A and B are shown apart, each in its own frame.
Chain A
């Protein structure tokens, strides 16, 4: 026996999907190229990759196109695709010092070993419209990169630089690095609280940028103030080492762009009794060029450590509160689900309310029914 035809819904669903496509093309013009989205809307693509939980920029660009620019919907598409991919394994821990830097800044020191590398950044832009982009000629568009590369001096900066915090560590002013904890794959293990720090970091790395920012901003405004300083923010390409299938020796299998942020927070007591106070660290790291997200993540990480040590006193110190509410795919899905019909439960609500009102008015079940029918017009 095959498929039994069902009335109604099927045609409605098909037409709804078709209309979305109509909206995309109704105004005419050229279809958006996926490569153009990837190359020219890079920050959006990075965000989709980050929240989607995998580095796949071309599919992320397709997701942006397919979702007509909705970042949540695009990240959802990428996640759904990702969950069908097999997990090949886990790499050995990689260090941020291995990043091939594009940009690296420290707010903690005027100068740092290796120097500040401003790189591409929008921090000092004057947010004024560039009306020339309204009608950009292909020639002008191409010349920007061409001219820059033509005039670029050979690289003076080495590809990798030491971490700013190394010096503070050497001086003993910073919590010493702990042995790496085992990675926690949040896609294969549910979060059952309390969760180890790697689980929190993994959940935040694919968290929704706005959600994470709201949590971090609450600490900045005083709900668990951290007194943070951005010791180092770096953006670059992390070479991925992977054991060679034949020799077992680690080889570089590729690279992935990441943004990494380390914040130094107010000093706390040393680990053991009688130890001198030390700075403590908050850590953020996410896929692509996502500076606000990396900083917010570092602040939330530090804030969650506070909560774990002395009990949560503020929302952003509560691991369950933070981690269960920052996932864009889950929160967006559940918010949308309220659009589904709920008339069975609403009928039950109505029944309940009518009965309660009748009883409060001193009536019986029958009177409750009478009350129910007041609005019936019969």
Chain B
């Protein structure tokens, strides 16, 4: 494989993507349109994130790919397989700390990210205004004018009708005091991790053909009223305490609720690497049950 074919994309596509990413970093939160290429992976399965990752990787990189917090979920496996086959020399890891590039769908790792790491998000809907305005040309105008009034009204109406903002994930957040972004379908739990994060966060929407970014150390504020604070998922027990992971015991991680046959549920860390890491730290042999 010669230098031109490393990373699957042709030189023109790679250049365009890198330019789009630079522009996105320069205008935090602004959705940069680009000519998204057709990938051998179906639209909706992460082609936007995939194109960014392909344009970023060098043989020196260490890659982590997760879907729903897991490294071994089928879509993550499939994307990793494709990335490793088209980017020879790149190493793969499941450890958040070891990775230089992390492609993800729906989660931000629990382990704090460090400077120099790049998060790449797979984005189905790049525009937070999509829930209030279907037309993209009108949405572009609203962004340009900083007109997020209808989004605020939507939050207010939710509070009146449900006593809760009914946006459970993809929670809109203002970046650097200007553009409001759709942070991709991460739970509210993950949104505070973007605020003044040491890592660079790149968002790719392949089908909708947009790239946007949250640069390192950038202010990211969830939209919230001063008297109704933004709240993450609570995982509360009936006695008022918090559910903990039945595997590693963590009571400070995002949990999966797993219905058991015959009733009842089990709670378990969603971030598989985080859970494994805690178990390994507890038993020096590193044996995971």
Query: A: which residues have CB within 8 A of B?
Result: 1-4, 6-10, 12-13, 76, 79-80, 82-84, 86, 187-194, 318, 320, 324, 329-330, 332-338, 340-345, 347-352, 355-356, 359-360, 365-366, 368-370, 372-373, 375-378
Q: B169 touching A337 by the CB < 8 A rule?
A: no
Q: B45 touching A376 by the CB < 8 A rule?
A: no
Query: B: which residues have CB within 8 A of A?
Result: 8, 10, 33-40, 42-45, 47, 62, 67-69, 71-78, 80-81, 84, 91-94, 105-107, 124, 135-137, 140, 162-164, 166, 168-170, 185-189, 207, 209, 233-240, 254-257, 262-265, 270
Q: How far is the CA of A373 from the CA of B234 in the complex (A)?
A: 13
Cβ–Cβ < 8 Å partners of A359 in chain B: 162-164
Q: B92 touching A190 by the CB < 8 A rule?
A: no
B136 partner, pick from A2, A187, A320, A340, beta carbons under 8 A: A320
Q: B107 touching A189 by the CB < 8 A rule?
A: no
Q: B77 touching A347 by the CB < 8 A rule?
A: no
Q: B33 touching A12 by the CB < 8 A rule?
A: no
Q: A344 touching B68 by the CB < 8 A rule?
A: yes
Q: How far is the CA of A366 from the CA of B257 in the complex (A)?
A: 18
Q: B263 touching A376 by the CB < 8 A rule?
A: yes
Cβ–Cβ < 8 Å partners of A348 in chain B: 168-169, 187-189, 233
Q: Do A83 and B37 contact each other (CB < 8 Å), given the known contacts A9-B72, A341-B73, A352-B168?
A: yes
Q: B234 touching A365 by the CB < 8 A rule?
A: yes
A344 partner, pick from B10, B69, B84, B92, beta carbons under 8 A: B69
Q: Do A333 and B44 contact each other (CB < 8 Å), given the known contacts A345-B169, A366-B236?
A: yes
Q: Do A340 and B234 contact each other (CB < 8 Å), given the known contacts A6-B80, A9-B74, A330-B43?
A: no
A330 to chain B, nearest CB (A): 5
Cβ–Cβ < 8 Å partners of B136 in chain A: 193, 320, 324
Cβ–Cβ < 8 Å partners of A8 in chain B: 72, 74, 77
Q: How far is the CA of A2 from the CA of B62 in the complex (A)?
A: 10
Q: B72 touching A351 by the CB < 8 A rule?
A: no
Q: How far is the CA of A12 from the CA of B140 in the complex (A)?
A: 42
Q: Which residue of B lies closest to A377 (CB)?
A: B263
Q: How far is the CA of A371 from the CA of B285 in the complex (A)?
A: 41
Cβ–Cβ < 8 Å partners of B207 in chain A: 330, 333-334
Cβ–Cβ < 8 Å partners of A189 in chain B: 35
A12 partner, pick from B67, B74, B270, beta carbons under 8 A: B74
Q: How far is the CA of A151 from the CA of B238 in the complex (A)?
A: 88
Q: A370 touching B238 by the CB < 8 A rule?
A: yes
A336 partner, pick from B44, B186, B237, beta carbons under 8 A: B44
Q: How far is the CA of A86 from the CA of B162 in the complex (A)?
A: 53
B43, B84, B135 pick with most chain A CB within 10 angstroms: B43
Q: How far is the CA of A368 from the CA of B240 in the complex (A)?
A: 9
Q: A341 touching B44 by the CB < 8 A rule?
A: no
Cβ–Cβ < 8 Å partners of A86 in chain B: 10
Minimum-distance CB pairs A-B, first 8: A333-B43, A337-B44, A369-B236, A377-B263, A9-B77, A359-B163, A333-B42, A352-B168
Cβ–Cβ < 8 Å partners of B68 in chain A: 341-344
Q: How far is the CA of A137 from the CA of B265 in the complex (A)?
A: 64
Cβ–Cβ < 8 Å partners of A365 in chain B: 234, 236, 240
Q: B234 touching A344 by the CB < 8 A rule?
A: no
Cβ–Cβ < 8 Å partners of B44 in chain A: 333-338, 340
